[in-house]
Structure 1
Amino acid sequence: MNIKITGTGSYIPTEIIQNVDFENHQFLNADGSQIRHPSPVVIDKFQKITGIEERRYASEELNTSDIAFLSAEKAIADSGIDPETLDYIIVAHNFGDVNKNSSQADTVPSLAARVKHLLKIKNPYCVAYDVLFGCPGWIEGVIQAMSFIKSDMAKKCLVIGAETLSRVIDKHDRDSMIYSDGSGASIIEITENTGGIISSASASYTYDEANFLYFGNTYDTSSKDSTKYIKMYGRKIYEFALTNVPKAMKKCLDQANVDISEVKKILIHQANEKMDEAIVKRFYELYEQEAPDGIMPMSIQKLGNSSVATIPTLFDLILKGKIANQSIDPGDILLFASVGAGMNINAFLYQF
């Protein structure tokens, strides 16, 4: 018996926000002072570093739980399971449901409960709960699902990563251009097929690193706006990720006794193109090798950073043939890895 992902689905919001749409933004430094470069220059530098050309925002009538449901429907259909046979619904997010033009996050009831309601599942023993683990939340949900199945507490789980970051960004912060909305879902179940989850690793670095990502005030110090927005210390996160993510990736390989040459794809959280490239390069350097061409599929150029949704969305798009020059074949060894608020890091090794 093996624990496999038997169905995937994603929801890509319809509202396209291009970099040019930020040209009239008044970007400020953290102390409220004016950034000395004009917005077009700031945007050009941003694109060169992050790789982001455009991103997607959810339409006004949809909330995080809604798009989580939409991706879940697709994953269930893709797997062919009866949703009433699900033992767990695990929804990873960070901010709950946040209505458009609202500052208040809504997490009661949980987003997982809302998704179960929208799926019209009657089975009371289908347990629905949320995971708050930063951007690595979907991977952590998969690891938890695997643990439930291994311990005989479940046979089928639905794991979703969904977020509407467009509703918690400060328009005066240049980092606001990174964030986007989206949702990805997967069915995890026990099967007789070959392959599945081989190994996993999770870590939380909180002694010095807990507040690298946080909720803070607008950079417009003249404003009376008391709303809190997502903020980050980008350089610290970059250095932290470059040091620690490759270690978690290596731990997965080493404990499974899998040679790095067997890895066909690395699906990494779509946080920043340059950072992701540096992480993968450092990972291969740990084995005194160079990263093969095409090893790291990317979706950030068109979809931005949708936090917990990036990896399950990327996986689904590859399987559906929607990422150019990328495919996954039966038997391929895949390495999933993420880093985010907390600071949390995780990874799992998977045979398709």
Structure 2
Amino acid sequence: MIRRSVIAGTGSALPKRRVSNAELAERVETTDEWIVERTGIRFRHIAEEGETTSSLAIEAASKAIAAAGLEPNAIDLIVLATATPDQTFPATATTVQAALGVNDCVAFDVAAVCSGFLYAVQVADSMIRAGAHQRALVIGAETFSRILDWEDRATCVLFGDGAGAVVLEARESEDADAPGILATKLHADGRHNGLLYVDGGPSTTGTVGKLRMKGREVFRHAVVNLAQVMEESLGTAGLTSADVDWVVPHQANARILEATARKLGLAPEKVVVTVDQHANTSAASVPLALDTAVRDGRIRRGDLIVLEAMGGGFTWGAAVVRF
């Protein structure tokens, strides 16, 4: 028998306030044309007072649990990926746990920035396959607007807030083509810290800090690393890009998505794109895009999907999943 982690349900959440490029241009020196041409972004959602990383995570998690046909107490593991937690500690995952009314489960955060959701998926999958847990709630949630420098037009136009979640459930089957996570691959290279980082922290400045990025260098690394890790994960699963029904990528920049697809020889219509509507929501972007494509009917049971992301650190990874 093969024990796998199956995606039993998905969910997502966005702040109420939707900000267009035109509205942003009233705040910083930019234009709709400039942003669309360089990034493909047209809108982003920005958290207002009372909206937090945990509140978005709770909404996304509730929807995922409902989609799985479960009650919250069926969850015995919560792994939340975020670079913008509510507090330095305790983990935002425990805030989600309490709000959902889960009486007792393992709950912790994972910090790998935009790759955080992929890291969280591998952690949860490993714990499920080891037999330690039966059902895991894996969440990516961010309020990146709180760490943006709104005077820096090169970065503040790129990001938005949101959350996405999946319920992973242990299932056993003798069928090698049964649904579940087939392979995951993660990487990190701390030598590139200075290309994408936040200039603050508890042990250095004692402040939260603001996001800083050298966009051109990040773009170059992203295209190479993402194509490589996708091929690597497919190879581990004994598959090729020709077997893929959908790629659900980190929604950082439309040009990165297009370049990565070309490098793998994938048709553009096989790539789920939400960056135009949500901008870069960091760890939330992959599960948010996944939930969007599941709910609009594009991704169906039996489809082979590849999830991928790269973020500050650098960290990057991919997961091959039979949905």
TM-score, normalised to structure 1's length? Answer: 0.84
Alignment-derived partner of residue 280 in structure 1: 261
One-letter amino acid matched to 1:351 = R
Match among 183, 188, 202 for residue 163 of structure 2: 183
Q: Does 2:281 match 1:306?
A: yes
CA distance in 2: counterparts of 1:2 and 1:25, whole angstroms: 48
Q: Does 2:144 match 1:165?
A: yes
Alignment-derived partner of residue 93 in structure 1: 82
Match among 197, 214, 217 for residue 197 of structure 2: 214
Deviation per residue, 1:249-298 (Å, 9 max, x gap): 0111111111321101110000000011111211x2xxxxx322411011
Q: Does 2:320 match 1:340?
A: no
> Using a 3 Å threshold, how does the CA distance of structure 1 residues 253 and 108 change in structure 2: closer, same or farther?
same
Paired residue secondary structure (1:144): helix
One-letter amino acid matched to 1:199 = A
- Offset at residue 154 of structure 1 (A): 0.9
Paired residue secondary structure (1:7): strand
CA distance in 1: counterparts of 2:237 and 2:141, whole angstroms: 30
CA distance in 2: counterparts of 1:18 and 1:8, whole angstroms: 27
Q: Contact 2:294/2:300 (CA < 8 Å) preserved in 1?
A: no
Alignment-derived partner of residue 142 in structure 1: 121
Paired residue secondary structure (1:66): helix
Alignment-derived partner of residue 234 in structure 2: 253
One-letter amino acid matched to 1:70 = E
Alignment-derived partner of residue 132 in structure 1: 111
Alignment-derived partner of residue 23 in structure 1: 25
Match among 264, 267, 279 for residue 292 of structure 1: 267
CA distance in 1: counterparts of 2:219 and 2:143, whole angstroms: 23
Q: Does 2:306 match 1:327?
A: no
- Give the % identical residues: 30
- Offset at residue 47 of structure 1 (A): 1.4
CA distance in 2: counterparts of 1:251 and 1:214, whole angstroms: 27
Structure 2 unaligned spans of 5+: 201-206
Paired residue secondary structure (2:219): helix
Paired residue secondary structure (1:135): helix
Q: Contact 2:82/2:141 (CA < 8 Å) preserved in 1?
A: yes
Runs of 4+ in structure 1 deviating by more than 3 angstroms, as ranges, are: 24-27
Q: Does 2:36 match 1:47?
A: yes
- Offset at residue 315 of structure 1 (A): 0.8
- Offset at residue 26 of structure 1 (A): 4.5
CA distance in 2: counterparts of 1:85 and 1:22, whole angstroms: 42
Any residues of structure 2 matched to 1:59-138 within 5 Å, and which? 59-97=48-86, 106-123=87-104, 126-138=105-117
Alignment-derived partner of residue 265 in structure 1: 246
Q: Contact 2:188/2:315 (CA < 8 Å) preserved in 1?
A: yes
One-letter amino acid matched to 1:119 = L
Deviation per residue, 1:12-35 (Å, 9 max, x gap): 2210111111223344xxxxxxxx
Q: Contact 2:35/2:42 (CA < 8 Å) preserved in 1?
A: no
Paired residue secondary structure (2:245): strand
CA distance in 2: counterparts of 1:75 and 1:195, whole angstroms: 17
- Offset at residue 205 of structure 1 (A): 1.1
Paired residue secondary structure (1:334): strand
Compare CA radii of gyration and give the structure with the larger one. 1
- Offset at residue 93 of structure 1 (A): 0.5
- Offset at residue 210 of structure 1 (A): 2.1
CA distance in 2: counterparts of 1:127 and 1:177, whole angstroms: 36
Higher share in helix: 2
- Offset at residue 3 of structure 1 (A): 1.6
Alignment-derived partner of residue 4 in structure 1: 6
- Offset at residue 159 of structure 1 (A): 0.5
Deviation per residue, 1:86-111 (Å, 9 max, x gap): 221111000212xxxxxxxx232210
Paired residue secondary structure (1:136): helix
Q: Contact 2:231/2:240 (CA < 8 Å) preserved in 1?
A: no
One-letter amino acid matched to 2:64 = A
CA distance in 1: counterparts of 2:12 and 2:300, whole angstroms: 20
Paired residue secondary structure (2:162): strand
CA distance in 2: counterparts of 1:69 and 1:329, whole angstroms: 25
Q: Contact 2:16/2:47 (CA < 8 Å) preserved in 1?
A: yes
Alignment-derived partner of residue 204 in structure 2: none
- Offset at residue 345 of structure 1 (A): 0.5
Structure 1 unaligned spans of 5+: 28-38, 98-105, 218-225, 285-289
